[in-house]
Chain A
Amino acid sequence: MTEFQWPWEYTFPPFFTLQPHEETRQQQLKVWTDLFLKYLKHTNKFSLSINEQSLPLFHNESIQRRLSPELILVILEQLQRTGHAAALDKRRQEWQVYWYTLEEYGNMVYDWIQETGQTNSICTLYEIASGESSTQMDFHGVDESVLLSALRLLEEKGRCELIEMDGSHGVKFF
C-alpha cells in the first residue's frame, strides 16, 4: 500500500481548530470531509469511532495537534448532511462512513448488473462486493452492511428485491 498523501493543511496548526469565521470554516470543513473520505478509502475502512485518539487522521504527531472530539463530530455531521455518513449509536460515537453516497452505490451496482446481464437472477451480497467479476468496479470491496443499506434504498425504488436466507442476504434485480 502506498503512503497516504496528506494535504498541506494537515501540517497547518489552525486546521485542527474550528474556525469562527464563516467562510474560512466552510472551506476548512470541506477540506476535512474530503480528507476523511480519501483517508478511509485509502485504509479501506467504513467505520470510524470518535474515541480512536491515536488514528493519524485525528492526530498529527509532527505538529502535536489533534482534532477535538467536538470537531470530529462536526465533520461527521457535515458528512452526514451530504449522505456520506450515518451514526451507528445514539451517543453518536460510532459512525459508518460511505466513500460514495448510498444512492451512488445503488446506481453503480444496478448499472453493473444491467451491463453484465444479471437481471432477474439472484446474487449474494458477497458476489457483488467481493466477487471476481466486480474487481474493476468502484464498489468492489465495499462493506456488506453498507451495500445492504444501498440495496435497501434500491428496493424502495422497486429496482430489486432482497431475500433473506440463513442470516445472509441475496438480491434479485429487475
Chain B
Amino acid sequence: MNRFAYVEARLSSNETFVSRDSRVKIFDGDQKTDFEEGEVVLTTHRLFWGRPGEIARAAVTLCLPLSYVISLGEETTASNFFGRKTRIIMHLRPPGPDKMPGPLDTSRATHIKLSGKNGLSVEFHSALRETLNARIWEISLTSETIIRGVDSSPTSESGNDRLARIQKRTGIGGIERHLEAKAKATDENIALAFQDLSVLMTMAKDMVGLSKTISGRIREQKGEISDDETVRFKSYLMSLGIDDPVTRDNFTSNSAYFSSLAQQICQMLIDPIEELGGMMSLADVYCRVNRARGLELLSPEDLLHACEQLRGPIRLRSFPSGARVLQLESHDDDLIAIDTLEKVQAAESLAVEELAKQLGISLLLAKERLLVTERLGKVCRDESVEGLRFYPNLLLQRD
C-alpha cells in the first residue's frame, strides 16, 4: 500500500487509457483499508484509484506506477451469501527512494489486492494482464535513453554537455531538482549521525557488562583485594549508575514495566528523600533517576506513570497548586505543619525564600510546606509590597 502516491489523474504524453472498473476496494496485504467503493483506471503506465468522479475531474488520486508490479495473481473467495468472486493480487517491488508521498508511509505487506462487490470484471482483469506483459513504460524509458545516447556523440559533446547543464539548472524543474538533491543529502547525513549513535549505544552495553563482571569478580575473590580497595572500586561503579536498569525491552506489558520501574525508583530514592526532609520534587526525581541510569534514559511520561504506581514507603503527591512531589508515607501534613510552625515562630515571620534557605530545599517545596501549614490554620499570610510572608496565626491562637 505504501507504493501508492498521491498524483493528479492526468495522462502524460505517450500514456494511453486502457481499461476501467468501478466499485473497487484495495487491500493492503490481507488487510482491509478505507479505500472502498472507488473507481480504478488502468493506463499503459499506471494504475489510478479514486472516489467516484474524482478521476473524471482529474483530481488528486491514488496512483501506482505499473513498474512496481512484479507479478499478478488471483484468489477466489466463496461464501454462501455473496457467491463467488475473484480478487486480483499484485505483488510489488519495494518503494523507490524518490517516491512521492502517498496514503501510507510504511507497510509490511509486499502485495495489494483489488476487490469489488462482485469481483472485478473479466475485461479489466485481462486488460491488466496484457498491459503488464506489454511493459510499455519500459519501452518509453529505453527509447529516451537511446535518443540521449545518440545525441551525446563525441562530435557535439561539449555543446550538449552545456545544454544538459542549462537544462539541469533552469526553470521550476531545476529548482525542484535542486531541492530534491538537498533533501537527499540531509537524509544521508541524518542516517550517518544515527549510525554513530547506535555504535555508541552498543559499546556502552559492552562497557556496562564489563563493569558488571569486574564487580562480580571482586565479590568472589574478596580476600585477594583489600576491603578498602573493594569499597572504593564499588563506589566508582555506583557512580556510573545502577547496575541493572529496568528497561522497556524486558517487559511485554506496560503495567508490569511501570510497576517494576516504580520499585526500582523507590529503592533508589528512599535514602535521598529522607535526607531532604521527606519530600522531593518530580523535577529532582527525574534528574536523579536519569543520572543513575546513565544511558537507558527514561522519558518524563514513563517516570510519571511509574511514580503513579508507587506503593509503599514513598508515594506521589499532588498539591492543590499543581506541584507534584514524591513524599515519604511517614511524612504527613501534621508533622510538616508543626515543624514549619516552629521555624516560623523562631523567626517571628518567614518568607518562602528564607525557609528554603534554612532547610536547604527548593523554593517550590518551601512554599508548599508553608501552604500546608496555612491550610491547617497554623500560620497566616501577609501580602504586601515587600512580598509574601508568613506569621504564626495569632488571629486564631491569641486569647
Q: Hey, what's the 0/1 contact readout for A22-35 against B, CB within 8 Å counting as 1?
A: 01100110010000
Give the residues from 366 to 384 in chain B that come closer than 8 angstroms, CB to CB, to chain A.
Answer: 374-375, 377, 380-384
Contact between A21 and B374 (Cβ–Cβ < 8 Å)? yes
| Secondary structure of the A contact surface, majority rule | helix
Contact between B395 and A64 (Cβ–Cβ < 8 Å)? no
Contact pick for B396, options A13, A16, A20, A27, CB 8 Å: A27
Given the complex, which residues of A lie within 8 Å of B382, measured CB to CB? 13-14, 16-17, 65
A12-B391, A13-B391, A14-B391 are known contacts. Are A24 and B398 too (CB-CB below 8 A)?
no
Residue A9 at the chain B interface, CB threshold 8 Å: yes
Given the complex, which residues of B lie within 8 Å of A65, measured CB to CB? 382, 384
Closest partner residue, chain B, to A21 (CB atom): B377
Residue B393 at the chain A interface, CB threshold 8 Å: yes
Contact between B395 and A17 (Cβ–Cβ < 8 Å)? no
| Interface size grouping (class) on chain B | 10 to 19
Residue B51 at the chain A interface, CB threshold 8 Å: no
Residue B394 at the chain A interface, CB threshold 8 Å: yes
Contact between B384 and A20 (Cβ–Cβ < 8 Å)? no
Given the complex, which residues of B lie within 8 Å of A12, measured CB to CB? 391, 394-395
Residue B389 at the chain A interface, CB threshold 8 Å: yes
Given the complex, which residues of B lie within 8 Å of A27, measured CB to CB? 395-396
Contact between B396 and A24 (Cβ–Cβ < 8 Å)? yes
Residue A15 at the chain B interface, CB threshold 8 Å: yes
Residue A8 at the chain B interface, CB threshold 8 Å: yes
Contact between B389 and A13 (Cβ–Cβ < 8 Å)? yes
Min distance, Cβ A24 to any Cβ of chain B, angstroms: 5
Q: Hey, what's the 0/1 contact readout for A144-161 against B, CB within 8 Å counting as 1?
A: 000000000000000000
Tell me which of A12, A15, A21 has the highest count of chain B C-beta atoms within 10 A of its own C-beta. A21
Contact between A14 and B381 (Cβ–Cβ < 8 Å)? yes
| Secondary structure of the B contact surface, majority rule | mixed
A12-B391, A12-B394 are known contacts. Are A24 and B380 too (CB-CB below 8 A)?
yes
Given the complex, which residues of A lie within 8 Å of B394, measured CB to CB? 9, 12, 14
Residue A135 at the chain B interface, CB threshold 8 Å: no
Give the residues from 1 to 52 in chain A that come closer than 8 angstroms, CB to CB, to chain B.
Answer: 8-9, 12-17, 19-21, 23-24, 27-28, 31
Min distance, Cβ A15 to any Cβ of chain B, angstroms: 7
Given the complex, which residues of A lie within 8 Å of B380, measured CB to CB? 14, 17, 19, 21, 24
Contact between B391 and A24 (Cβ–Cβ < 8 Å)? no
Contact pick for A13, options B375, B384, B398, CB 8 Å: B384
Contact between B395 and A14 (Cβ–Cβ < 8 Å)? yes
Q: How far is the CA of A64 from the CA of B389 in the complex (A)?
A: 14
Contact between A20 and B395 (Cβ–Cβ < 8 Å)? no
Contact between A9 and B395 (Cβ–Cβ < 8 Å)? yes
Q: How far is the CA of A19 from the CA of B379 in the complex (A)?
A: 10
Tell me which of A14, A15, A17, A23 has the highest count of chain B C-beta atoms within 10 A of its own C-beta. A14
Min distance, Cβ B68 to any Cβ of chain A, angstroms: 69
Q: How far is the CA of A14 from the CA of B397 in the complex (A)?
A: 14
Contact between B391 and A20 (Cβ–Cβ < 8 Å)? no
Given the complex, which residues of A lie within 8 Å of B381, measured CB to CB? 14, 17, 19-20
Contact pick for A23, options B384, B391, B396, B398, CB 8 Å: B396
Closest partner residue, chain A, to B376 (CB atom): A21
Contact between A17 and B398 (Cβ–Cβ < 8 Å)? no
Give the residues from 98 to 138 in chain A that come closer than 8 angstroms, CB to CB, to chain B.
Answer: none
Given the complex, which residues of B lie within 8 Å of A13, measured CB to CB? 349, 382, 384, 389, 391
Contact pick for B384, options A8, A9, A24, A64, CB 8 Å: A64
Closest partner residue, chain A, to B386 (CB atom): A64
Min distance, Cβ B73 to any Cβ of chain A, angstroms: 75
Q: How far is the CA of A21 from the CA of B390 in the complex (A)?
A: 13
A14-B395, A15-B395 are known contacts. Are A24 and B377 too (CB-CB below 8 A)?
yes
Given the complex, which residues of A lie within 8 Å of B395, measured CB to CB? 9, 12, 14-15, 19, 24, 27-28, 31
Contact pick for B375, options A8, A21, A28, A64, CB 8 Å: A21
Q: How far is the CA of A28 from the CA of B395 in the complex (A)?
A: 7
Q: How far is the CA of A28 from the CA of B393 in the complex (A)?
A: 11
Given the complex, which residues of B lie within 8 Å of A24, measured CB to CB? 377, 380, 393, 395-396
Given the complex, which residues of B lie within 8 Å of A20, measured CB to CB? 374, 381
Given the complex, which residues of A lie within 8 Å of B375, measured CB to CB? 21
Min distance, Cβ A174 to any Cβ of chain B, angstroms: 46
Min distance, Cβ A101 to any Cβ of chain B, angstroms: 26
Given the complex, which residues of B lie within 8 Å of A23, measured CB to CB? 377, 396
Interchain Cβ contacts under 8 Å between A and B, 22 examples: A9-B394, A12-B395, A13-B391, A14-B391, A14-B393, A14-B394, A14-B395, A17-B381, A17-B384, A19-B381, A19-B395, A21-B374, A21-B377, A21-B380, A21-B393, A23-B396, A24-B393, A27-B396, A28-B395, A31-B395, A64-B384, A65-B384
Contacts A17-B380, A21-B377, A21-B393 aside, 8 further interface pairs with beta carbons under 8 A come to A12-B391, A13-B382, A13-B389, A14-B380, A17-B383, A19-B395, A21-B375, A65-B382
| Chain A residues close to B by CB (< 8 Å) | 8-9, 12-17, 19-21, 23-24, 27-28, 31, 64-65
10 closest pairs, A vs B, by CB?
A: A13-B382, A14-B380, A14-B382, A17-B383, A14-B391, A21-B377, A19-B380, A27-B395, A17-B382, A24-B396
| Chain B residues close to A by CB (< 8 Å) | 349, 374-375, 377, 380-384, 389, 391, 393-396, 398
